[in-house]
Amino acid sequence: MREIITISTSRREVLVDITSRVEAVVTASGISHGLVNVYAQGATGAIMIQENWDDSVQTDVVNLLRKLIPRGVWLHDAQDGNGDSHLKSGLVGPSETIPLVNGKLGLSTWQNIFFCEFDGPRRERHILCTVMEDRS
């Protein structure tokens, strides 16, 4: 089963918790065992599994990436001013694959799935969620 999750973002750089949206896709699929792939469409967004208990962790991720990959110093900035956004999304990566066990995401207590916005705000971001059944 495949479904597109659509979200909007309110800041240039932010981690948005999409776990409940992915869980809804899993529930609708009716699949109990398999894999769930979550893929960010677009060259300046990414997907990350990260701690969900303390918002400071998401802020720390954004701040670390700002320090590692500063804005305004890259060749691509001459085209559209978002060279850092492309580098950050490439470093984090466009997707995560999560095991599906007994109809539930195989995340630990402290893990959630986040869409990483590196070039917002955006009215629409699309996240492709694919649920694959294990038939063995």
| Structure-derived torsion over alpha carbons of residues 96, 72, 55, 50, reported in degrees to the nearest 10 | 20
Mean pLDDT along residues 93-109: 97
User: Using 50, 70 and 90 to split pLDDT, how confident is the model at 136?
Assistant: confident
Cα–Cα distances in Å, from 92 out to 50, 62, 76, 83, 135?
12, 11, 18, 15, 31
pTM score = 0.96
Mean pLDDT along residues 13-29: 98
Domains in the chain, start-ordered, CATH in brackets? 2-133 (2.60.120.460)
